[in-house]
Amino acid sequence: MQVLTDQDAGRDAGLRAYGLLPLAAGDTAGLIDDGAQEALENLVRLAASLCGVPYSVVNIITSSEQVQIAAYGIDPGVCAREDSMCAVVFLDHSTTVVRDASRDPRFAANPFVTGRIADVRFYASVPLETSSGLVLGSLCVFSDEAKLPAPEQIELLEVLAHQVVELLELQHRTLQLNDALAELRRSNALLSEFAGRVSHDLRTPLTTILGYVELAQDDPGITPSDPSAEYLDLIGTGGRRMLGMLEEVLSYARVDGEIRPERVSLLAVTAEAAQDLGMDLGYGSGISCEDAEIFADRAQLRTLVQNLLANSLNYGRADRALRIIVGASEGPQGATLTVADNGKGILPADRERAVQPLVRLNRPGDGPGTGLGLATSRRIAQAHGGELAIGNTPGGGATVSVLFPARP
C-alpha cells in the first residue's frame, strides 16, 4: 500500500482549491471545464506524438486515487493510488524516464507492468508542480514496447507539462475569482439590505418630525420675526435634506431587487422624472427628450433618468442657461440612452470616482447632492446587464450613456 508523506497529507485540500478533487471516489465529472478539457486533450496527443508512443495521460493524484483527466490512446480512468506508477515518483520533483519498467525495481511488480492492468514497458513522467510547490499529479507517456527517447524529446515533454500546469493554474484563478465574486455579491446584498432597513427605520420618525415642524410653522402664534420661526426653518431645511438623502439610499439599496423589464416610453418616464424635480419638459424649458422605447424595468428606468437629470441640474454653469437633451439610439448590442448637458462636465480623471457611492467632486458652485445619483444609475445599468459611461458633450458639458442590452 502506498505510504503517504507529510507533504502529501494536505494535498486533497490543495486539489479541492484547484477544482481537481472528485466529489466521490471514482467520480471525474466536472473536474475540468469544456474549454480547458479540449486544450488538455490536445496537449496529451501532442505529448504522445512528440515521444513517438501510443499513449499519454494527465494524472491527478489524490490521497487515495489516481484520476486521469485527459488521455490519448486509452479511455481516461481511475485507479487506486497504490496501483499508480506515477504515485511512486511524482513527489520526487524531477522527470522520470524508464526504458523498460519490467526491469526497474520501482515498477516491476506494478499491475500496470505485470499485465494485471496493462503491460507498460517504456514510461516517462513529469510532475505537474505549481508555482506554490503543490504537485497536482503528472504528465506521463508510455508504451508497451521498451524504448528510450532522445534527450530533446524529454525536454519538450517537460515544456508540455509546464503548459498543463499553466492551464490548471488558470482554472484555479478562475475558481478564486468566481468565489470572490460570489462573496462580493453576498456582501453587497447584505449591505444593501442593511442600508434599506436603516433608511426605512429612520425615514418614519423623520417624516413625523417634519410634520410637526409644518404644524408649528402654521401656528398663528409664531410670527416671522420670532426666533423660533428661524429655528423651525433650519430644522425643516435640514430634515428635508436628510429625507432626500434617505430616499437616495433606499433607491440605491432597491436596485438589487427583481428586474421586471418591459417596453417603456423614454418620453413618458423623462416627463415624470422632470416633474418630480420641479422641471418642465419641452420647448423653452431647457430639457428636451426624443421619444423612444427602451426594454427595461419601468420604475428603475425612471429612477435612473431622474438621477441623471438631477446630476445635470447640480452641475450646471453659472455663465449659461442649462440645456439637457435626453435621447436613445438602437444598435446591435441594444438601446443606448443618453443624457447630455452643457454644464461643467466631468474630467476623465474623475469619472471613475464620480460613479462610486457617496463620492462628490466638491467643485466651487456645485449644487447639493449625496454622491449616490451616478452610483445608483450605474447599478441600475449593471442590474440590466448593461453599463454606464461618462463622456464629453461637444461645446462643453457631460454626456452620460447607458446601454440596455437587446431583448433576448
The answer to whether position 356 is within a domain reads yes
Q: Identify the DSSP state of 35.
A: H
Which of 172, 188, 220 is where one domain is finished?
172
Shared domain check, 142 and 27 = yes
Contacts 24+ apart (CB under 8 A), 354-361: 354/390, 355/388, 355/390, 357/252
The b-or-e profile of 164-176 (16+ CB within 10 A means b, else e) is: bbebbbebbeebe
Q: Is residue 166 domain-shared with residue 295, that is, in the same domain?
A: no
Residues 399 and 274 in one domain: yes
Last residue of a domain, one of 147, 172, 197: 172
Q: Is 253 domain-assigned?
A: no
Contact assessment for residue 120 and residue 85, using Cβ atoms and an 8 Å cutoff: yes
How do 122-129 and 135-143 pair as beta strands? Answer: antiparallel
User: What are all long-range contacts of 162-170, with beta carbons under 8 Å and residues at least 24 apart?
Assistant: 163/43, 164/40, 164/43, 164/58, 164/128, 164/139, 165/128, 165/129, 165/130, 165/136, 167/36, 167/39, 167/40, 167/43, 168/18, 168/20, 168/36, 168/128, 168/130, 168/136, 169/130, 169/131, 170/36
302 is a domain residue:
yes
pLDDT at 339: 92
Residue 348 lies in a domain: yes
Q: Does residue 313 belong to any structural domain of this protein?
A: yes
72: Cα separation from own chain's centroid: 35
Say yes or no: 161 and 18 in one domain. Answer: yes
- Does 166 share its domain with 269? no
Task: Identify whether residues 148 and 272 lie together within a single domain.
Answer: no
Q: Domain residues for 294?
A: 260-405
Cell 446630476 found at? 311
Residue 301 forms part of a structural domain: yes
**Selection from 163, 384, 112 nearest residue 260 by Cα:** 384
Plot region of 78 (φ>0 → left; ψ -120 to 50 → alpha; else → beta)? beta
- Same domain, residue pair 272 and 397: yes
Number of domains, the chain? 2
Q: Which residue ranges in the chain fall short of pLDDT 70?
A: 1-9, 23-30, 187-203, 238, 240-258, 282-285, 358-359, 362-370, 408
157/47 Cα distance (integer angstroms):
6
Tell me the CATH number at 123. 3.30.450.40
Are residue 130 and residue 31 in the same domain, yes or no?
yes
* CATH label of the domain that carries residue 303: 3.30.565.10
188 lies in some domain = no
Report the alpha-carbon distance of residue 1 to residue 3 in Å, rounded. 6
- Euclidean distance between CA atoms 145 and 247, whole angstroms: 78
Note the pLDDT of residue 71: 94
Listed residues 110, 145, 172: the one ending a domain: 172
- Please indicate, yes or no, whether residues 40 and 154 belong to a single structural domain of this protein: yes
Render pLDDT for 90-136 as a digit per residue (tens, 0 to 9).
988 899 999 999 999 999 999 999 999 999 999 999 999 998 888 99
For 283, half-sphere exposure in the C-beta direction (CA atoms, 13 angstrom radius) is: 0
Asked whether residue 125 is assigned to any structural domain, the reply reads yes
pLDDT attached to residue 25 = 61
Longest CA span, the chain: 112
Euclidean distance between the first and the last CA atom of the chain, given in angstroms as a whole number:
57
